[in-house]
A and B are shown apart, each in its own frame.
Chain A
Amino acid sequence: MDATLVIYALYLAAIYALMAIGISLVWSSIGMVNMAYGATFAVAGYAAYFAADSIAPAIRSWSTGVDGMVLLAVLTVMAGMIAGALFGILVYLVAFLPIHDKPNFAVRSLIVTLAINLAAVQALLFAFGPQQKALPRIFGVGRFNLLGTPMRLDQAITILTTIVLLGLVLLWLRISRRGLEIRAVMQNSEGAALCGISTRWTALPVMMLTGSLAGLAAVLLSQSIFVNPSAGTTPLIKGLTIALLGGLGSVPGAVLGAILVGFLEAITGIIPFLGQRYVLVVQFAFIVLVLLIRPRGLGGLLDETRE
């Protein structure tokens, strides 16, 4: 396995981890499988495209150097994340708030979020048509050498950005008061209610946070694929299956699952008799196999048990 392949695998893992952790967090804290996550991804991709499209000329006339590129990159990423967070609020208002204390919330919200997903994809199709949009190469197209290994600039920056932002999110969950409340709801929502923590108010930051993670994933992935109305479908399916693989609700499980699937995809792609066509087949076969052996996913392996 050469270094380029490892970098590619980590690059895929970074994007899948963003999607899987978003789905996992929502499930474990508010008990909802967010099928609208694909739409969040696509909407954020479009927002980032239009933001980059409208500000790029202004930035180019201001500066064509590195500072201009950095500014454009930061603004595009922020546009994607903000759009994702706003879409998260929409999902919260439509799919969570009206039905969260009704019976059978898990199934109802699954259906509502699936409906949101379909409606949003069709709305994007109606508004912008099926043409693919290409985001500007906000991280540049160059390569550089790190310890003798050639790396693509955009892949390196994607891996780095994901690690930094996910680290910040996990740190925030660990040290802030809001994070403490979210973790309390994740572990025992009734106990949290008895601590005066309202699920209604905890769900909002969770939806915004996970929405912005999807937005980040959209901007990062759009560096190598195009934005189109159904761009979110594959990331949604992969995020969902990786979240299941990692054990729904387990953040370390989701990260491990994403890394495994990332490597699996990269390796399947270069095996001569399999190739890129068989990536999904191999992936699902692997996930089915793991879930047959460990029905609750990988998460249980990582959690500490009582000695």
Chain B
Amino acid sequence: MSGTLLAVRGLSAGYGPLRVLHDIDFSIAPGERLAIVGLNGHGKTTLFRAIMQLVGWQRGSILFDGKEIGGTRSLGEGRYTPGIVRLGIAMTPQGDAIFPGLTVREHLDCGAHAKTAWRDRTRRRERVYQLFPQLDELQGALVGKLSGGERRMVSIGRALMSDARLYLIDEPTLGLAPKVSKRVIEALVNIPLEGKAMVITEQNVALLSGAVSRMMGMHAGRLRGEVGHVGLA
């Protein structure tokens, strides 16, 4: 097992004239669960979107498993995203940016993009249903009709269907009731990593405290080092 799975060096990114990220440096090792905490509008989502090449422009190096997926780019957002996904990064977007007109089962199948994953999809779906038993009864329901918490579970389940080695989970508890938030975080913490890694962004430090291996703060587009665990929970 090598030392780092993802190494970001000097990453800046933004939209048009707006610069959101300022020289981000961080890395994550296999088996780690990293939390990036910070307030709304300080660049957590943009960081994930820059890793997936979904921002307007970006520069700086992003090494995933030794392969460069960053670089300088000012056009063509989203053009290389499917390729990056296929390398083994699964991102669950913030909020409900998913397919409202697909059923839960179809939605999960969308996550199984690799050939082997597609053949294996029935077994993988079962695994997701074990993690989120609620979804088992909702297999045929349209995602657009589910509650916020259920949609979040579908979104995470979709990420788990793939062969990803790095999960980027963006604001998993955004807009959820405290009880539901806790359940979603519990599920995320219980996902076995085994050489994979997970980055979670979150505004509520107390929810993640003690549940992740490392925590970093983000403020005004810069990473502010290790936060350490605050004893709030």
Contact = CB atoms under 8 A, between A and B. Distances in A.
A67 interface: no
A50 to B, nearest CB: 39
Given A101-B76, A177-B118, A193-B78, A187 B99 contact: yes
A277 interface: no
Contacts, number: 75
A285 interface: no
A181 B111 CA distance: 10
B227 to A, nearest CB: 28
| B83, B99, B106, B109 pick with most chain A CB within 10 angstroms | B99
Interface residues of A, number: 24
A198 B82 contact: yes
Interface in A164-213: 177, 180-181, 183-184, 187-200
Nearest to B147: A306
B98 A191 contact: yes
Given A194-B85, A194-B91, A306 B145 contact: yes
Contacts of A101: 75-79
A38 B159 CA distance: 42
A187 B96 CA distance: 12
A177 B112 CA distance: 11
A199 B78 CA distance: 9
B144 A195 contact: no
B220 to A, nearest CB: 26
A75 B68 CA distance: 51
Contact of B113 (A187, A195, A200, A307): A195
Given A191-B97, A194-B91, A195-B111, 17 more contacts: A187-B100, A187-B101, A188-B97, A190-B78, A190-B81, A190-B97, A194-B92, A195-B158, A196-B82, A196-B86, A196-B162, A197-B113, A198-B82, A198-B83, A199-B78, A304-B145, A306-B145
5 contacts: A188-B97, A188-B99, A190-B81, A195-B110, A196-B114
Interface of B: 52, 54, 75-79, 81-83, 85-86, 90-93, 97-102, 106, 109-111, 113-114, 118, 142, 144-145, 158, 162
Interface of A: 101-102, 177, 180-181, 183-184, 187-200, 304, 306-307
